[in-house]
Structure 1
Amino acid sequence: MAPYRIRQYEDGDYEAVRTMFGRGIMEHAPAAFIYMLKHPQTQLHFLGLLLVVLAASGSLLVSLLALLLALTGAWFCIWSLWTDYIQQFLHNNLLDIRRTYLEAADSCLWVAEAEGAVVAVLPEFPSERGHTL
């Protein structure tokens, strides 16, 4: 097991922190897609699409292709939402990490490193008065 060291962010960690954030957030896109598919409203919409296309075309193959196209479009929408969020966060909070996390009052950015590589990131912000978790 590699020895881990937790320390405060340094400017040399900039790219590693940004890359780790993007990859970490994108890991949740497939789970969000599955979560969306489990909703009864979503299932009804896809069933309705299947039945409407089946009634209009009379072909089960065309209906299944339409359903596959709709599922692909839904996946693209989820993926697009996630990548837009990442880009927005990278251009706001993570553009100037030092100003956002280290110079702000009661804020910090911790990184964990193993064998000289950053393996985890933990941002720290003060909770708003009366809004603790």
Structure 2
Amino acid sequence: MNNYLGDIISIFICLWFIKTYLLHYRMTKEEAFIVREAPKVFLYPLTILVCIMLILVPLSERGLVPGVVPDSILKYTLVSFMLWITLVLYTKWNWGVHVTDRKVRSRNNMQMLLLLILLFLLATIL
């Protein structure tokens, strides 16, 4: 069964990744932090990988990619997104060690905890 809403959401998430993490256009403070502090050697390839996988999801569901099972593409997309979240966690952890402001550090720790929970939930889907 084709899910048009899921395909549209997948394309919009891909466009948001491109706009934010590849083109650096109109970023929030948190997104700008990730772009500024994350190791570029990992940030750009992982962002491109996530975008490619997000585009392949609707293409494989429509049968436009021959020989590819849509379920396997969805699993690879989840793995690529989990790798990207791991990069964000590494960046926040590496930066959070040097923060002396208690309020900023507690917000950073809360965000890292939420990302770990998201990572766990994505891992249970696999």
TM-score, normalised via structure 1 length:
0.30
TM-score, normalised via structure 2 length:
0.31
Over alpha carbons, which structure has the higher Rg?
Answer: 1
Greater strand fraction, Structure 1 or Structure 2: 1
Asked which structure has the greater RCO (Cα within 8 Å, sep 6+), the reply is 1
Greater helix fraction, Structure 1 or Structure 2: 2
